[in-house]
Amino acid sequence: MGSQFGPQGRASRLSLGFLLISGLMAAGCINKEGERLPQGLMTFPIAIELSLPPADDAPPEYVFVANSNFALQFNTGSLQSYDLQVLNDAIDSTGAFVGEGCNGAGFLNVCLQRDATTGVQNACIAPGTQTIDCNCDPDVDEDCTACDCDPDSSELRCDPVPPDRCSVIPEQLRLRDRGALLKTVVAPGLLLSEAEIGSFADGLAISTTGRRLYIPVRSDANVTFIDVDSEGLLDCGSGFVPQQSCTEFYRTSSAEQVNPSAPVEMPPDPVDVFAGSLAADFDPAFEGEYILVAHREGEASLLFDQERNGVVRPRIAASLDELAPEQVTITYQPAAKKAWISSAVTNQVIRVGVAIDGDLTQSSLFNAGTLFVTGLDVGNVMRDILFDPRPGRDLAYMVSRSPESLVVARSDSAGEQLNVVGQISACRGPSRLKLVELPARGGMVLTAFISCFDQRMVQIIDAELFQGITILTNISGSFEFVVDVPRERIYIADFSTSVLRIADLGPVLDCLEVPATGAGGAGGVGGMGGAGGMAGAGGMGGAGGMGGAGGSAGTGGTGGTVAEASSPECSPVLIGLVGLPQPVSERPR
């Protein structure tokens, strides 16, 4: 998913910087000679995707992270490929990291206290080492009786390492200043491959084959494509190697035309991208991928990634303008052949029709009608849109910042009014949304995960019952994230500190087995409630509620607050970091 710069209402303090950045981008001065991005370093991670699983029910093998270089400290951004087995072993102290990972040996209690200047007490940093180790494993010995320290002393007591003070780092990264980190776990084989790309990457999509990645890069005013092999290695011009800089060929998806006789120009400022299969979504006779791109100032573009004359690469097919300002994300509704685009400043949902028939050279995009959000407090500032993945559910889930809520509407709305069937309060500054099916209650339960940058948390909602489950707090820059269902983990790209934060979803799954209930109760799988609506924690109330399969029974009211809807015992447990924390003040949108 894409992002944009500083939110409305706070733009004044960022306006000068934004104008400077815009001027640099217009002049082509973003990618220039300067300090090279250190190998293995994250810098403003803006997008994250999991590799496709090698088999049904198998865990994903890799996680891909796009770094935007938002502060322009370096002369490039990057795309990184991390090995998830190594990552989780290093956190869990399993595999090659038994007793040495983040859940390994404890530390003196005094080491856990932050020093105002160094971040870690000087007494805890011995020459040639990083920390003083108590030589015990609290997971094995609860009282730490094996420690060379006094378990009854407040300073000499041996304690586990707090999860925000331990980070797994790739062996390629040269540690400069570990700041407040108490423990670093150097993990050989963690970072498999790294490719330098332009600055201001603003999204990430993976092909339906799992063998190609697409990244909208604003400094290039184009889409970069990168190949990935079965070992997690990347290739964008130098073969499948651990490190490289992407060549111009891979950084200019629009350099070639689908129809050279009717050339199309790629609009500037690409902010998000969606990739799908031509055969699955349009015609089984087609081969390759289609790529939909949203551009910040009201444009959209369409590319096809196919073989021509022995070369498989994206080529631009169509573009469309005069849509809506401050576009943020794009997603696709295959049954309707329409893309939905969110806008950060209007109460509109932009729909773009995709016309593809037997002759791909005649493909086009057209304005399929704007949907206006009504029946809400203000109903604007939409940040993300996703469709219900379950068959037969014509529902769209939208993250709104005014009001701050998860809005649910009919995705088959006729006319210009979006048929809102309910909403649930969200945490402050909601940014991104994931719909994830988790194993619970004898089947799979649809859950909604919402990242809230302003409130530094991730909110989790039971989308079948429309009840808030819990929140994960103290995530300094929660923005993009992915959910690893087989491992029961969530990986959060922390934009503010340039790390990944890893949390265990075990408590969430336990709470899904016994959902909270209120006076109104849930309406069951067929729909939300009857006249009573849902009165459970954070649920959708109101006289309307949602009817059964036949359609909407009116606009549902808003349930309880996020605080009322959250249950601490259900909260995911933060278990460690990946990368070197670098606190900054910049913010995405």
Query: What's residue 143's pLDDT?
Result: 54
Q: Are the CB atoms for 259 and 361 separated by under 8 Å?
A: yes
Model confidence over 274-298: pLDDT tens digits? 999 999 999 999 999 999 999 999 9
All residues at 6 or more sequence positions from 554 whose CB lies less than 8 Å from its CB, including other chains:
542, 543, 544, 545
Mean pLDDT of 267-279: 97
In this structure, is residue 437 part of a structural domain? Answer: yes
Sheet of 205-206, strands arranged across? 205-206, 212-217, 222-228, 234-235
Ramachandran class of 152: left when φ > 0, alpha when ψ lies in -120 to 50, beta otherwise: alpha
> How many Cβ atoms from other residues are within 10 Å of residue 126's Cβ?
11
Entry pTM: 0.84
Model confidence over 42-53: pLDDT tens digits? 999 999 999 999
Tell me which residue of 564, 467, 522 sits closest to 532, measured CA to CA. 522
Query: What's residue 374's pLDDT?
Result: 65
Q: Which of 159, 182, 201 is the last residue of a domain?
A: 159
Coil, strand or helix: which one is 280?
Answer: helix
Going by pLDDT thresholds of 50, 70 and 90, the confidence category of residue 576 is very high
Comparison of pLDDT for 563 and 113, the residue scoring more: 113
From first CA to last CA, the distance across the chain in angstroms is 11
Please provide the DSSP assignment of 489-551 as one string: EEEEEETTTTEEEEEE-HHHHHHHHS----SS----TT-S-STT---STT--BTTT-B-STT-
CA 197 – CA 243 distance, rounded (Å)? 12
All residues at 6 or more sequence positions from 56 whose CB lies less than 8 Å from its CB, including other chains:
none
Q: Could you say which DSSP state residue 257 is in?
A: B
Tokens found for residue 291: 């790529």
In this structure, is residue 486 part of a structural domain? Answer: yes
Mean pLDDT of 209-213: 98
Tokens found for residue 588: 């995405």
Coil, strand or helix: which one is 233?
Answer: coil
In this structure, is residue 585 part of a structural domain? Answer: yes
Tokens found for residue 552: 């909407």
Does the structure show a pLDDT above 80 at 386?
A: yes
Q: Could you say which DSSP state residue 58 is in?
A: P
Q: Any idea which residue has 């009717």 for tokens?
A: 262
Q: Are the CB atoms for 204 and 197 separated by under 8 Å?
A: no
In this structure, is residue 95 part of a structural domain? Answer: no
Comparison of pLDDT for 25 and 64, the residue scoring more: 64
Does the structure show a pLDDT above 90 at 142?
A: no
In this structure, is residue 234 part of a structural domain? Answer: no
CA 499 – CA 54 distance, rounded (Å)? 26
- Tell me the three-class secondary structure of 71-113, residue by residue: CCCCCCEEEEEEEHHHHHHHHHCCHHHCCCCCCCCCEEHHHHC
Among 24-33, 300-309, 552-561, whose mean pLDDT is lowest?
552-561
CA 165 – CA 183 distance, rounded (Å)? 6
Q: Are the CB atoms for 469 and 550 separated by under 8 Å?
A: no
Mean pLDDT of 418-428: 86
Tokens found for residue 106: 């404890």
Total number of domains in the chain: 2
Model confidence over 512-540: pLDDT tens digits? 988 665 433 333 333 333 323 333 333 44
Amino acid identity, residue 549? A
**Residue-range definition of the domain harbouring residue 116:** 105-159
CA 262 to each of CA 314, 348, 360: distance values in angstroms, whole numbers, following the listed order? 17, 31, 12
Q: Any idea which residue has 């990946």 for tokens?
A: 578
Query: What's residue 16's pLDDT?
Result: 32
In this structure, is residue 426 part of a structural domain? Answer: yes
Query: What's residue 531's pLDDT?
Result: 29
In this structure, the dihedral spanned by the alpha carbons of residues 122, 126, 132 and 133, taken in order and rounded to 10 degrees, is: 160
Q: Which of 130, 159, 188 is the last residue of a domain?
A: 159
In this structure, is residue 476 part of a structural domain? Answer: yes
Amino acid identity, residue 96? A
Mean pLDDT of 52-61: 93
Q: Which of 119-128, 230-239, 401-410 has the highest mean pLDDT?
A: 230-239
Please provide the DSSP assignment of 176-190 as one string: ---TT-SEEEEETTS
Q: Are the CB atoms for 163 and 572 separated by under 8 Å?
A: no
> How many Cβ atoms from other residues are within 10 Å of residue 302's Cβ?
23
